[in-house]
Structure 1
Amino acid sequence: MLIGRSRMYRSDQLAAAGFRAAVLCRTFTFHSHRPAGNMEKNLQLVRNIVPPLTEKKHKGQDGKIGIVGGCTEYTGAPYFAAIASLKVGADLSHVFCTKDAAPVIKSYSPNIIVHPVLLKDPLDEYDHQGNLLQLSQALGNVTIVQKGQKDLISDGTTVLVCTQQGSGRRCGGQGDLLSGSLGVLTHWALAAGEEKTDGLNPTLVAAFGACALTRQCNYQAFQKHQRSMTTSDMIVEISTAFNKLFDSYRDE
């Protein structure tokens, strides 16, 4: 998922940025003003952006999330992403999918809003070239999450590393839970502003929080289900995992 700030680059600037990113990637050296292992401090920044629950708000102020994806063969992924966003705390969740996938996704839950659309030029999902920093810089310093043994989050200048404990179980759909969570936390982070994120790019804090939450859900679900764990089991753990990491319930 890509989230970022609009910036314009000339071709010579893009070329220079790509060269610098390639050098950084080859040496496996990531520079940040924040130590990679400072988990607790980064988790506190996420706690700072979680909005309070209050009767003064109207529906939508805590997040209207859009999920783009879904076709005949893949209907579970957008559903998991959408339902995860609601479970994390979004007010509304919309799925934009192909026309033939819409009835199937609608049948999963009445809680999500499904919009069938036409996908004329599908993306090449097998083109994995490039790297984290180069891609972020080429797109104008958007924030990108790279999943792996350690999740890397970068906006082209800073890299955060999420090492929250998960498990060895890699069931399909975990990235969808991550995407749904990320949508909500991004909305909250941008609304809170950089004052609440200690000057750090709010989208970096949001992405870090989503990665940590997904890993914690994975860990908790694995303790109960072991090898039979599925993403549905992780969805059930969102509430307790969120409270454990962010302890955020506040009423104003």
Structure 2
Amino acid sequence: MPVPRPVLEQIKQLIPPLNGKLHKGQSGRVGVLGGALDYTGAPYFAAMSALRVGADLSHVICSPTASDAIKSYSPDLIVHPILIENAPKDQVQSQLQSLFSRLHVLVIGPGLGREPYMQAFAKLALGVARSNGMFIVLDADAIWLVGKDLSLIKGYRRAVVTPNVVEFKRFSEQVGVGSDVPPDQRAEMVSRKLGGVTVLEKGASDIIAVDTTGEEASLSESKLDDVDVQKEAVKEVQAVDVEGGLKRCGGQGDILSGLVGTFLAWGKCYETGAYGDNSVATSRMPLLAAIGGSMVTRTASRRAFAKEGRSVVTQDMIPEIGRAFGEVFGDDFQGQGKL
């Protein structure tokens, strides 16, 4: 079942217009936090995907053990090797606060790993991002982190979690959603248990759900101009069954997190009036970003598989992102904003 046209039209409103009137940064500044000794590809895929779909600037916040490799992959990425194992917490917190003031969204998890110091820095970053009212995407080992302490994310409705099949099963159990709940209702129930956090359940069809009809959202750590964004009652589930490739590459989820992050960055720019008319409610932006990111990722996967077949790797998807975006939203799509 295709995504309803009104939903697609709302997503299009968030996309920056290509009219030559925006300055550098108004098409999105994305941050990816992850990358340690064993994982350098994942943060690269997430950050590069953000650039390839149209973000202006993409930052990687990582460990020094990963920074040289990530820098070597592309000169287009801005790499910050500040997650130093023995660095004082106050020092890293100050650096994160300064950096986050320049970003529209933070993606936590690609290449994060489970080393205690990386998990501790991710927890610190999540708190700083929440205190700044940032949009957040949680993927991979960031989902493992918040699964152990749901208070880190519970009630924060500017967040999207993107679990795969294995992660979703574990995460569902951690939030108290058991096997007695029908499979097609679990993502919605997880969102409700989390106080309205948007859930993107990856699978044969991606399920995107948000349900704020349960527990109240937490406002204590949010510095939002309009707290009503967090109070609105929303309940919506969308399935994205756009055809993907027949081989699931290991880094495809990293691409997805980077694309969802970019749509959220655009949402932040839209929210601040960078593109003109603000008719899309901020409360819908995590849902819309998850849908848009899912559609483009699956289309890029299909296109890469059509060229490479069984030998396809995640790197093959990167050149297809721009063309996949054009296929989903129109080859000549220039954005719907007005200046």
Q: TM-score range by the shorter chain?
A: 0.7 to 0.9
Q: Which has the higher contact order (CA 8 A, sep 6+)?
A: 1
Residue in 2 that maps onto 1:152? 207
Q: TM-score, normalised by structure 1?
A: 0.77
Q: CA offsets, 1:129-181, max 9 Å, x none?
A: 32533443344312221111111112223211111111221111111111111
Q: TM-score, normalised by structure 2?
A: 0.58
Q: CA offsets, 1:39-96, max 9 Å, x none?
A: 4443333222211023332211111101111111111000000000001111110111
Hey, what's the Cα distance between the residues in 2 that align with 1:46 and 1:205?
A: 6
2:59 maps to 1:94: yes
Residue in 2 that maps onto 1:129? 171
> Structure 1 residues 185 and 199 mapped into 2: Cα distance closer, same or farther (>3 Å)?
closer
> Structure 1 residues 94 and 210 mapped into 2: Cα distance closer, same or farther (>3 Å)?
same
Give 2:334's match in structure 1, choosing from 243, 249, 252. 249
Of the structure 1 ranges 89-98 and 114-123, higher mean CA displacement relative to structure 2 is found in 114-123
Q: CA offsets, 1:107-149, max 9 Å, x none?
A: 1111001112136262646872325334433443122211111
Hey, what's the Cα distance between the residues in 2 that align with 1:147 and 1:45?
A: 22
Task: Give the aligned CA root-mean-square deviation in angstroms.
Answer: 2.6
Give 1:170's match in structure 2, choosing from 248, 252, 269. 248
2:315 maps to 1:232: yes
Residue in 2 that maps onto 1:68? 33
> Structure 1 residues 196 and 220 mapped into 2: Cα distance closer, same or farther (>3 Å)?
farther
Structure 1 unaligned residues grouped into runs of 5+: 1-35
Residue in 1 that maps onto 2:258? 180
Residue in 2 that maps onto 1:5? none
Hey, what's the Cα distance between the residues in 2 that align with 1:37 and 1:108?
A: 36
Whether the aligned pair in 1 keeps the contact of 2:3 and 2:238 (CA below 8 Å) is no
2:128 maps to 1:45: no
Amino acid at match of 1:120: Y
Aligned pairs, number? 217
Hey, what's the Cα distance between the residues in 1 that align with 2:259 and 2:171?
A: 26
2:195 maps to 1:140: yes
- Deviation of 1:192 after TM superposition, in Å, equals 3.3
Give 2:70's match in structure 1, choosing from 91, 96, 105. 105
Residue in 1 that maps onto 2:131? none
What SS does structure 1 have at the residue aligned with 2:308? helix
